[in-house]
Amino acid sequence: MRGVIRPDPDSLAPAAAALAYAASGWSVVPVHVAHEGRCSCGRADCNAPGKHPRLRWEEAQHHPADPTQVARWWRRWPDANVGVVTGRVSALAVIDVDPRHGGDAAFEDLQAGWGGPVETVTSATGGGGRHLWFRTSDPPASTVLAEGVEMKAEGGMVVAPPSLHLSGHRYRWEPGRSPSVRPPAPLPGWLRAIAGDGFRPGRRPKDAPVRTRAEQEAFVAAWRRAGVELHPGDNYYLCPFHDDHHPSLHVDAEGCRWYCFACRDGGGIGRLREKLGEARPVRLRRRIRGFAGPRRPVTLPGDRPVSVVGESAHQDELLELTGGRRSYAGVEMEAVAELVPTDDGTIEVRIGGRTVGVLARDDAATLRPLVEEAIDSLGAATCRAEIRGGWDRGGGDVGLFGVELFCP
């Protein structure tokens, strides 16, 4: 059960609070605590005093510890801070707003420009910041949303009340916003979209995750055939293609890229398959053109370009819509998109029944009356769309699929 937590964790000692969180289905881990400016880990150069786990916590990212194990941890370390693992294991995503780095203003700008104010379970950190807690069964990866604003989701962890901060102040739940009063609100669609898009104010990062899950799985399987078991993210390994005693092979499992500094060779899955003696897939040189998804009547005709945001969270769907293969020059495919309003004010963009992104807040506000009118009178709000990008030039770098609408 992941509903309201009883009793109020603010009134409990860390051990009792950890058990209350665990009883609600959250994955908890014991965290070091800071006393008189020093972390209990004992390292003079600790860069996260009172904020990092006392033990290896990989297992806690996949399976919550049972109450017996939680109690055992806090019997061993009775003053340990309480860490809550975010992501799928706890069905949580937490927005960490740090005012010391401009987080308050940056988060206000995000709300004003994308989705409006959010109300949910909120805790105050001992350092003057705040954590906004949301529930989600399909969390994005942890990422930085803006300067001073970070989403802790898959692969992340936050320190929870009543833990002790380096400042000497305790983390606490804000009045009326404790999990003992209300459950976390659902993660808003606009926050999910900009997190999946690798959003940064004013620009799209070059390292936005553009490989699909299917491509990542094929990449992992190819390395397994080479005798290398990949870990998530960027890591170094012993290269299987030469007598390697010091890891010289760098692999980006998310971007499906690799390079060996000893072999001076690398690329993507195509080059890897060549090294394994396997047939390399034929890569089209021309741009793929055509029509994506079913042809439908357009109920909102127009020529005004409107950008879609959050496409990088839906690269699997876009690759499938465009034929399931990449080309050297990418794609440029026409489509009919359906605009679907949601309860949180977001307007989802769907092509062929698949969600491919959302409208930015200003565009959603402008188009919402027309969308609702079209749905009421014609049964659906649809407009012309184009899917572009998704190129693969063979060196391990690929292009992001993007979507543009044409509206009144």
What residues does each domain of the chain span? 9-196, 213-275, 288-407
Mean pLDDT of the chain: 87
Distance (Å, rounded) from C-alpha 19 to C-alpha 380? 48
Pairing verdict, β 288-292 and 331-341: parallel
Q: Name the burial class of residue 314, with classes exposed (0-12), middle (13-18) and buried (19+) by CB atoms within 10 angstroms of its CB.
A: buried
Cα angle 198, 203, 206 (rounded to 5 degrees) comes to: 60
Taking 50 as the threshold, does the pLDDT of residue 369 lie above it?
yes
- Picking from 82-91, 146-155, 259-268, 330-339, which range would have the lowest pLDDT averaged per residue? 259-268
What percentage of the chain reaches a pLDDT higher than 90?
A: 51
- Picking from 99-113, 124-138, 222-236, which range would have the lowest pLDDT averaged per residue? 99-113
Residue among 339, 352, 351, 355 nearest 306 (CA): 339
Domain 288-407 part of CATH 2.60.120: no
pTM of the full structure: 0.55
Residue that is written with structure tokens 């003992």 in the block: 180
**3-state SS class at 159:** strand
